[in-house]
Chains A and B, each alone.
Chain A
Amino acid sequence: MPEVENHAVHPDSKSGVPESSSKTIGLTDVEWRRLAFVLSLSFAVILPFVFEGFTTFQFTLAGIYAIAILGLNLLSGFNGQISLGHSTFYGIGAYTSAIMINQLEVPAYWTIPAAALICLSFGFIFGLTVTRLEGLYLALATFALAIATPQILKSKHVEQWTGGVQGLDVYKPDVPQALPLEADQWWYFVVLGILLLMLWCTKNLVNSRSGRAMIAIRDNPIAARSMGINTSLYKALTFGCSGLYAGTAGALSAIVIEYVAPDSFTFVLSFFFLTGMVIGGMASIPGVIFGALFVLFLPNFAEDFSKNLAYAIFGILLIATVYAMPSGSAGLFSAILTRLKQKLNQ
């Protein structure tokens, strides 16, 4: 059992510690990892040509969720700040995009960076405000944000922009003419591209000086402060970055789903992201993809068991998953890999 705790606290140790040069079946760890990456990437690229439009659309959604969960993981997994308010950032991103497309007629692609920047600033300001709060109290403050979001979106004061309770329709731009792709395939690749970019940025960020500062704040804020790290600033910046990810994901979701409404951004969505993050593995970068697929497909899976008790089955499966991997897929995978490596090296 203590090893479980270990994974939970330092699952990321592998990215900071120099790689061991021992070889497994002729390849070093780094080479294995590269091989795995290339294989999964080629799988991801082939996917929309193998499956029909609907399944491609599902994977597109999973990609969008993965971006949001990655943002949450940056905040909670690497920086130790809990957020139950990521549905807000996601919602702001979605509405920014929807309002710009629907009312200002800005090309859809431009609305994505715009949403990202707005959420970055909002996240930074919010992060700066709540910098003194920790643990449950931070959870409450962010939860308040999540509760308030749908109410504010449909409030009569902003109705003229947000469309109030009726929401806004969004028209997704056509596939560039030079490409022989269906709309679903094209948006799948757009999302995949952004996701890869985000994953790459996150990897570099957490291995940088700033990333180490973020992790130090998570592990021991007082020690971090005494080492001269401006903890408030770093925490607020991490909040901003995290918001940027969620905002990007939100904008993509508005475009791909072609509709936004206050009911799409309730606090349930925050729990949804949180579930994805924990199941994927705290502070695990590749884990977010597993987490996103999990939250997207688990309800469908539960539904196949029983319509009447779909929700209860969902609960049972969720609990069972936590039993199977108390520290997420990342913990489970690394445990399996270690075992496997020992076997193979014997």
Chain B
Amino acid sequence: MNLWNRGIICAIGFVTLTAAISAAEMPGVTDKEIKIGNTMPYSGPASAYGTIGKAINAYFNKVNAEGGINGRSIRFISLDDGYSPPKTKEQIRKLVEKEKVLLVFQSLGTPTNAAVHSYLNKKRVPQLFVATGASKWSDPENFPWTMGWQPNYQTEGQIYGSYILKNHPDGKIGILYQNDDYGKDYMIGLKKGLGDRSNSMIVAEESYETTSPTIDSQIIKLKASGANIFFNVTTPKFAAQAIKKIFDFNWKPVHFLNNVSASVGAVLKPAGLEKSQGIISVSYYMDPTDPHYQNTEGMKRWQKFMADYFPEGNRKESLNMYGYLVAQTMVHVLKKCGDNLTRENVMKHAANIRNLKLDTLYEGIEVNTSPSDFRPVESMQPTVFKGESFVPLGEIVKSGNDKIQ
């Protein structure tokens, strides 16, 4: 029995060893396919975001149908982590060690990505274009294998801060934020933007939990604080509630709404368009429900993609557009790699994107990275809501390259 076992162990060891050697150069890549791993909260309370994974999958299907990447088709293995960090660790290890994926792409969530941050960097597996706006993903010195994609929350907060300082220097700011990493990152950014004025200008900070049924109590407190500027750092459901509530409570502050919820179809329309007039936000890609952009070439391509490859997806949902854009970025990087699909080369090209234009990014906003700049999208367009759409408000703002901590 003992001998037999040892035999098995040796055999398995041998098989894995040879497999490891043959795959050492380009794990997850054969002549026919490229394996890409991903985790998404398909189940549980954050399942609304699961549609990003489906949109990405649909886009890769389109790429494959059109001949793939230099003759290789993409195999996108997307696993459910239910937004639970321990589960993410389990699933990512499965992807890396069992499925032997080339890289991990667009895994969603800050705590979930944080749980595998050091693991993937130790294993030297690219953790590309993570779906979270936390600032810690752009740290090429300490984590050379991890890169974000969207403008990070702090940068965005900073843009609002500078804007307020310039246009409402005597304003009193009341903040409503979600009590998690996302909400707190926005606050840090805003305070940075305001500089030394932040203590005197911010008169109230109120938080809510995702389990809070309503945010009425917080809005009442913000109103009572005497604030005349409302900084609204909330996810769609609470953003819509807040827009409706401040209108009902006869509070008329200058309203800044974070990009996360700046969607006409998903937030402003349910809240009431007449209650949303004058809301200021920033954006980097077009809102699929905004009538203003319906006739651009990029938007038409997106709609055709949705109709052909993702017909069951919601065409009002901006997350589906987000998934499309980020998948385009991934495909761009893979194409650049040519036949040299090693993890090192993928990282090299991910860190050397020059002026990449994507279908539905705002005019003038491009994807740029360099070995010292791991922040693909850094520019944003301030917008104000007028009539039925967000219209540009001044110039595109590019955040500085200073390292934000």
Asked if A and B touch directly (CB within 8 angstroms), the answer is: yes
Convert A162-201 into 0s and 1s, putting 1 for each residue whose CB lies closer than 8 angstroms to a CB of B.
Answer: 0011110100000000000000000000000000000000
The reply to whether the CB of A311 lies closer than 8 angstroms to some CB of chain B is yes
Q: Which of B47, B53, B86, B110 is A257 in contact with, Cβ under 8 Å?
A: B86
Q: Provided the pairs A46-B5, A53-B97, A165-B184 are in contact, do residues A61 and B86 lie with their beta carbons within 8 angstroms? A: yes
The reply to whether the CB of B119 lies closer than 8 angstroms to some CB of chain A is yes
Q: Which residues of B contact A54 (CB under 8 A)?
A: 93-94, 96-98
Residues A52 and B98 in contact, CB atoms below 8 Å apart: yes
Spot the interface stretch: B75-83, B232-240, B266-274, B303-311: B75-83
Shortest CB-to-CB span from A172 to chain B, Å, is 10
Q: Which of B42, B85, B112, B184 is A310 in contact with, Cβ under 8 Å?
A: B42
The reply to whether the CB of A343 lies closer than 8 angstroms to some CB of chain B is no
**What are 26 A-to-B residue pairs whose CB atoms are below 8 Å?**
A52-B16, A53-B93, A54-B93, A54-B96, A57-B90, A58-B90, A147-B211, A154-B179, A164-B184, A166-B111, A167-B85, A167-B111, A167-B114, A257-B85, A258-B118, A261-B114, A261-B115, A263-B83, A299-B43, A299-B82, A307-B42, A307-B50, A310-B42, A311-B43, A311-B44, A314-B43
Convert A302-343 into 0s and 1s, putting 1 for each residue whose CB lies closer than 8 angstroms to a CB of B.
Answer: 010001101100100000000000000000000000000000
Residues B43 and A263 in contact, CB atoms below 8 Å apart: no
Residues A166 and B181 in contact, CB atoms below 8 Å apart: yes
Shortest CB-to-CB span from A240 to chain B, Å, is 25
Convert B208-220 into 0s and 1s, putting 1 for each residue whose CB lies closer than 8 angstroms to a CB of A.
Answer: 0101000000000
The reply to whether the CB of A231 lies closer than 8 angstroms to some CB of chain B is no
Residues B78 and A259 in contact, CB atoms below 8 Å apart: no
Q: Provided the pairs A57-B93, A169-B118 are in contact, do residues A264 and B85 lie with their beta carbons within 8 angstroms? A: yes
The reply to whether the CB of B12 lies closer than 8 angstroms to some CB of chain A is yes
Q: Which residues of B contact A61 (CB under 8 A)?
A: 86, 90
Residues B42 and A268 in contact, CB atoms below 8 Å apart: no
Q: Which of B16, B94, B111, B118 is A263 in contact with, Cβ under 8 Å?
A: B111
The reply to whether the CB of B89 lies closer than 8 angstroms to some CB of chain A is yes
The reply to whether the CB of A79 lies closer than 8 angstroms to some CB of chain B is no
Q: Which residues of B contact A49 (CB under 8 A)?
A: 5, 9
The reply to whether the CB of A17 lies closer than 8 angstroms to some CB of chain B is no
Q: Which residues of B, 163-208, contact A by the 8 Å Cβ criterion?
A: 179-181, 184
Residues B79 and A151 in contact, CB atoms below 8 Å apart: no
Chain B interface, DSSP helix/strand/loop, else mixed? helix
Q: What is the total number of residues of chain A having a CB less than 8 Å from a CB of chain B?
A: 34
How many angstroms between the C-alpha atoms of A261 and B89 in the bound complex? 13
How many angstroms between the C-alpha atoms of A169 and B85 in the bound complex? 12
Chain A interface, DSSP helix/strand/loop, else mixed? helix
How many angstroms between the C-alpha atoms of A268 and B43 in the bound complex? 12
How many angstroms between the C-alpha atoms of A147 and B184 in the bound complex? 20
Task: Kindly name the residue among A50, A147, A257 whose own CB sees the greatest number of chain B CB atoms within 10 A.
Answer: A257
The reply to whether the CB of A242 lies closer than 8 angstroms to some CB of chain B is no
Nearest B residue to A94 by beta-carbon distance?
B86
The reply to whether the CB of A253 lies closer than 8 angstroms to some CB of chain B is yes
Nearest A residue to B83 by beta-carbon distance?
A263
Q: Which of A151, A268, A308, A314 is B84 in contact with, Cβ under 8 Å?
A: A268
Shortest CB-to-CB span from A319 to chain B, Å, is 16
Shortest CB-to-CB span from B129 to chain A, Å, is 20
Residues A259 and B82 in contact, CB atoms below 8 Å apart: no
Residues B181 and A264 in contact, CB atoms below 8 Å apart: no
Q: Provided the pairs A151-B209, A166-B114, A264-B111 are in contact, do residues A259 and B89 lie with their beta carbons within 8 angstroms? A: yes
Q: Which residues of A contact B84 (CB under 8 A)?
A: 263-264, 268
Nearest B residue to A260 by beta-carbon distance?
B85
Convert A216-240 into 0s and 1s, putting 1 for each residue whose CB lies closer than 8 angstroms to a CB of B.
Answer: 0000000000000000000000000
Residues A311 and B42 in contact, CB atoms below 8 Å apart: yes
Task: Kindly name the residue among B12, B43, B44 whose own CB sees the greatest number of chain A CB atoms within 10 A.
Answer: B43
Shortest CB-to-CB span from A138 to chain B, Å, is 22
Q: Provided the pairs A253-B86, A299-B43 are in contact, do residues A50 and B8 lie with their beta carbons within 8 angstroms? A: yes
Nearest A residue to B119 by beta-carbon distance?
A258
Q: Which residues of A contact B115 (CB under 8 A)?
A: 167, 257-259, 261, 264
Q: Which residues of B contact A257 (CB under 8 A)?
A: 85-86, 89, 115
Q: Which residues of B contact A151 (CB under 8 A)?
A: 179, 209
Nearest A residue to B134 by beta-carbon distance?
A166
Convert A25-55 into 0s and 1s, putting 1 for each residue whose CB lies closer than 8 angstroms to a CB of B.
Answer: 0000000000000000000001001101111
Q: Which residues of A, 46-73, contact B by the 8 Å Cβ criterion?
A: 46, 49-50, 52-55, 57-58, 61
Nearest B residue to A303 by beta-carbon distance?
B80
How many angstroms between the C-alpha atoms of A58 and B93 in the bound complex? 10
How many angstroms between the C-alpha atoms of A258 and B122 in the bound complex? 13
Shortest CB-to-CB span from A294 to chain B, Å, is 15
Q: Which residues of B, 222-254, contact A by the 8 Å Cβ criterion?
A: none
The reply to whether the CB of B87 lies closer than 8 angstroms to some CB of chain A is yes
8 nearest A-B residue pairs (beta carbon): A311-B43, A54-B97, A261-B111, A165-B181, A259-B115, A263-B111, A54-B93, A264-B85
Q: Which residues of B contact A169 (CB under 8 A)?
A: 114, 117-118
Shortest CB-to-CB span from B294 to chain A, Å, is 28
Convert B132-144 into 0s and 1s, putting 1 for each residue whose CB lies closer than 8 angstroms to a CB of A.
Answer: 0010100000000
Q: Which residues of A contact B110 (CB under 8 A)?
A: 165-166
Q: Provided the pairs A167-B114, A264-B111 are in contact, do residues A310 and B80 lie with their beta carbons within 8 angstroms? A: yes
How many angstroms between the C-alpha atoms of A58 and B79 in the bound complex? 15
